[in-house]
Chain A
Amino acid sequence: METMSALQGLLGGVLIGLSATFLMGLLGRIAGISGILSGLIFERGGDRPWRLAFLLGLVSGPGLLMLSGLDWGNVAGDSGATIGAPASGLTTMLVAGLLVGLGTGLGSGCTSGHGVCGLARLSLRSMAATLVFVLVAMLTVFVARHLLGGSA
């Protein structure tokens, strides 16, 4: 069901865009997940309550879908599921997690901050960052899947 996947993707994207719009309109902030969450963990001050609330909301979105039993997830392998299975084992995930944390920390943003909010702001820095992480991720998958033949 490619059309259905595309429509659900579009709908989900619009919801993410509404989230970013609300965060800017209400609190004046960029909806960058890596910034919000690393700030929640490593910074003190007045931003902690809304950042914590954002985290709870982020987790409760898929959580509510799972609890309600609605068939709204768009998971490739299992159309009834909301959340997909991890793509690799523990060792790969430890390396990947470290690189994602380090990279989004140094690069000041991830798919949401640079990819969604940055592109919508027409920021050149975000366009460059998005281009780099998408191309490097594609290259990584190519090497892992097609050259090394791994499961990543």
Chain B
Amino acid sequence: MKALAGYLAGLLFGLGLAISGMTDPARVIGFLDVAGDWDPTLVFVLGGAVITTFIGYRLVWRRQTPLFESRFQQPTRRDLYTRLLGGAALFGIGWGLSGYCPGPAVASLPGLSWPLAAFLVAMIAGWWLSRRIRPSQ
């Protein structure tokens, strides 16, 4: 059941990315290019996703536990660390250069190209490196 739940969540996420246009780096860069021909699509995607998640979370949190697990696991830290914001800044540079963030890059596997493959391999290397720098929490 847990695997089925994971598959269902992944499927909805992948469909959402493709239908919204976020699997197209040109659309994403069109949003980031505020000095050019600005494409607002990403605002609608993020808005729709955040509002739906906001309502959905409040509904599921009415239960004591998730359906298939013993507890809700949420980040508990409240502090603003250099690592959090420095990491976000590095991510922003990579996102701006490529138009890919991790979700759309992986969801685009059915249309694999050499540049995408290079991006994915380098991203995994980056994850490995970050775990060397910061042993997992």
Contact = CB atoms under 8 A, between A and B. Distances in A.
B97 A96 contact: yes
Contacts of B46: 13, 111, 115-116, 119
Contacts of A19: 9-13, 16
Contact of B25 (A33, A84, A121): A84
A53 B37 CA distance: 38
B96 A137 contact: yes
Given A13-B46, A13-B49, A106-B134, A111 B18 contact: no
A121 B111 CA distance: 33
Chain A CB within 10 Å — which of B6, B84, B116 has the most?
B6
- Where chain A touches its partner, the secondary structure class is helix
B63 to A, nearest CB: 8
Interface in B7-38: 7-27, 29-30, 32-36
B69 A27 contact: yes
Given A13-B47, A73-B19, A5 B41 contact: yes
Given A18-B56, A61-B107, A106-B83, A38 B12 contact: no
B18 to A, nearest CB: 4
Query: Chain A interface residue count: which class?
Result: 35 or more
A54 to B, nearest CB: 4
Interface string B101-112: 111011111110
A148 B31 CA distance: 19
Contact of A133 (B53, B92, B103): B92
14 contacts: A13-B47, A28-B72, A49-B2, A59-B14, A59-B109, A62-B111, A84-B24, A87-B25, A97-B100, A100-B95, A110-B102, A125-B80, A138-B96, A140-B95
Interface of A: 5-31, 33-34, 37-38, 41-43, 49-66, 72-77, 81-90, 92-108, 110-112, 114-117, 119-121, 123-125, 128-130, 132-142, 144-146, 152
